[in-house]
A and B are shown apart, each in its own frame.
Chain A
Amino acid sequence: MKHLKPINQKADRVQQYLESKTKPGDVVALQQTDAQVPLGCSFVFFPGWEVDIEGGTAGLCSPVERDLFDCHLGCFWPAQVPDQLNHAPDWTAACSSAQKDWRKIDLIFP
């Protein structure tokens, strides 16, 4: 922080906590408290999500297309992974450890 200088031990802890939190606009994990739980995803119980009582999709309580919009808006799935055999063989080259370097994996544009 630039405009506030922590003085006592509690202020140090507040600062550490704030620094450990992601800044607005950054990627967040679902487990983080300030993350938004996406609408419609396999984490959320949503009756009729996959198939209806007959095993088809015609009788779902909301249309199957719903998941495309939900995932498009709020979630990663079912985004495609680049074709690492042909189109983007070096996609993960800068990421030797996924835990540490995942931010280095960039988007691939066709």
Chain B
Amino acid sequence: MMTHFRASHLHQFEASGKPFLYLQSAAIFALDDASQAILKLLDAGSRTREDIQGMLGTHLSAAELDEGMDELLRVQAIVPVNEAPKPIPKVIPLEPFPLTTMVMNVTNQCNLACTYCYEYGEDKIVDTTNGKQPKFMSEETAKQSVDFMFREAGPNKVVHMTLFGGETLLNFPVLKIAIPYARQRASEVGKRVEFNLTTNATLLSPEIIDFLIENDVAVTISIDGPQDLQDKFRVFHSGAGSYDVAMPKIKELLRRHRAKPIGARVTLTKQTLDVQRIFKHLTEEIGFREVGFAPVTTSPGQEYAIEDGGFDKMLGQFRGLAHEFLECAVENRHHAFANVKDTLEEIHKGASKAYPCGAGLGLMGVATDGQVALCHRFAGSDDHALGTVTEGIDRERQNDFLDRHHVENKTECRTCWARPLCAGGCYHEAHTRYGTTEGPNLHYCDWIREWTDICLRIYGEIAERNPTYLARFEGRVTNEASQTN
């Protein structure tokens, strides 16, 4: 019987008028006439070598077609139909996996009462009001957390310490102890520590800004954009909007703290989907150097949840910003749209993920009482705990978590070409939506595929028009801290 071949779960895209191929291995190849013609035929249905020779033989030589077939087979762009697909080996990372980023929830309290908050809103996991966790992390726990971080960093020379809340600055006294202590410990153990702090900016004071500058702390500001959008959800407990309080402080921080890029992190909701207006406001009027967007995490049916039409609108605006980014990249100019930059880096390196993110692996969150969880979004949740800062990581629990969450378990993802980059998406998002961290986020599959396609096209264009630009992504370890939200 003659072997029939078919295309594997790949994605073809066009950039600068040329055809490209994105494979399950996360490799990107440019196609020539022969390989493109073969794939086009196999896309429409399975064929034998003889069929292909017969259909394309008038334009292309038999030798070229044979070679093209062989190459496509070798990179696994095409596969024999009667062969069972090779399972991707389920490799659980070797332990102890070194910690890259520790996110420290120095408090679970907040001076704002943003309606959509995953820590306080309807979808919260941990009772932060009457729960067992102290409202503020103690000095002692903070120091123990720092010790834990260096202990678990293993051979890593650089560790990232992300200070988080609640509203992080509500516990400024502990920051003043923890940061110098981490610096001191770093020099004792011969490592470097990088700090990142997330805040809503309402409590920034000249003293705090001085401290952030002196300690070289990178800052991420949670902000939703112009006043009408910011004040819709980001409100004080009284219901009053926070724009007027936050903005002058943000401007002061941006004016004085020049050594580290200050990023804005925007939560998008059904009512605040004006991505381009938000972006223009935060970059041109306020002066942020990086702006990243994330759709709100929510269970279905919340009034701020983005629905299908909203995703299309969001995508259209992302596409616009991504093209602005491209024009800048071609001329080696900076553009502040962080979402596309982060994805381009992963595309360039060819990340093929067994897990959607570093949670429970290279990234962990520490709750106010020193309990260690998958990430900051699960801090304080006993169901998602992996140990404590004093006793260390429970390797059995961690292994069990990694075993249960490997992308190979997500059967829905098996035939998806975007799997190498997505791997099922955020655990917290899945937990909020479906009540379990184990499944993929099926509600945004289409959106992820379309967004990945946009980024692949942008990548292809840059690779054609200004390939030297991509060198900036090489040899750099992705800083998970900068993506914390």
Contacts and interface: CB of A to CB of B under 8 A. Distances in A.
Contacts of A4: 21, 29-32, 35, 71-72, 75, 77
Given A3-B67, A18-B75, A9 B32 contact: no
A7 interface: yes
B77 to A, nearest CB: 8
Interface in A1-29: 1-11, 13-14, 18
Contacts of A8: 26-28, 347-350, 459, 463
Contacts of A5: 29-30, 32
Say what secondary structure dominates the interface of chain A. Answer: mixed
Given A3-B68, A3-B71, A4-B71, A9 B350 contact: yes
B113 interface: no
B381 interface: no
Contact of A1 (B71, B351, B352): B71
Interface in B26-46: 26-32, 34-35
A56 B148 CA distance: 66
Interface centre among B28, B35, B68, B72 (most CB of A within 10 A): B28
A10 B27 contact: yes
Contacts of B71: 1-4
A10 B67 contact: no
Contacts of B83: none
B474 interface: yes
B20 A9 contact: no
A2 B33 CA distance: 11
A41 to B, nearest CB: 27
Contacts of A6: 27-29
B74 interface: yes
B28 A11 contact: yes
Interface centre among A2, A9, A13 (most CB of B within 10 A): A9
Contact of A14 (B25, B31, B35, B64): B25
Nearest to B350: A10
Given A4-B72, A18-B74, A10 B32 contact: no
A14 B67 contact: no
Interface residues of B, number: 30
A6 B25 CA distance: 12
A13 B64 CA distance: 24
Contacts of B347: 8
A10 B27 CA distance: 5
A7 B347 CA distance: 10
Nearest to A2: B67
Contacts of A13: 27, 350
A1 B73 CA distance: 12
Contact of B349 (A2, A3, A10): A10
B460 interface: yes
Nearest to B77: A4
Given A3-B32, A4-B29, A4-B30, A11 B68 contact: no
B281 to A, nearest CB: 34
Nearest to B38: A3
Contacts of A3: 31-32, 34-35, 64, 67-68, 71-72
Contacts of B28: 6-8, 10-11
Contacts of B26: 8, 10
A9 B474 contact: yes
Contacts of A14: 25, 27, 75
Interface string A19-59: 00000000000000000000000000000000000000000
B29 A7 contact: yes
A3 B64 CA distance: 9
A28 B350 CA distance: 30
Contact of A7 (B68, B72, B74, B460): B460
B340 to A, nearest CB: 16
B40 to A, nearest CB: 13
Contact of A11 (B27, B64, B74, B351): B27
Contacts of B463: 7-8
Contacts of B75: 1, 4, 14, 18
A1 B459 CA distance: 22
A7 B20 contact: yes
Contacts of B68: 3
Nearest to B474: A9
Nearest to B349: A9
Nearest to A14: B27
Contacts of B31: 3-4
Cβ-closest 6 pairs across A and B: A10-B350, A11-B27, A3-B35, A4-B29, A5-B30, A7-B28
10 contacts: A2-B67, A3-B72, A4-B35, A4-B75, A6-B28, A8-B350, A10-B26, A10-B349, A10-B352, A14-B75
Interface of A: 1-11, 13-14, 18
Given A3-B64, A9-B348, 14 more contacts: A1-B71, A2-B67, A3-B32, A3-B68, A4-B31, A4-B77, A6-B27, A7-B30, A8-B349, A10-B349, A11-B28, A11-B29, A13-B27, A18-B75
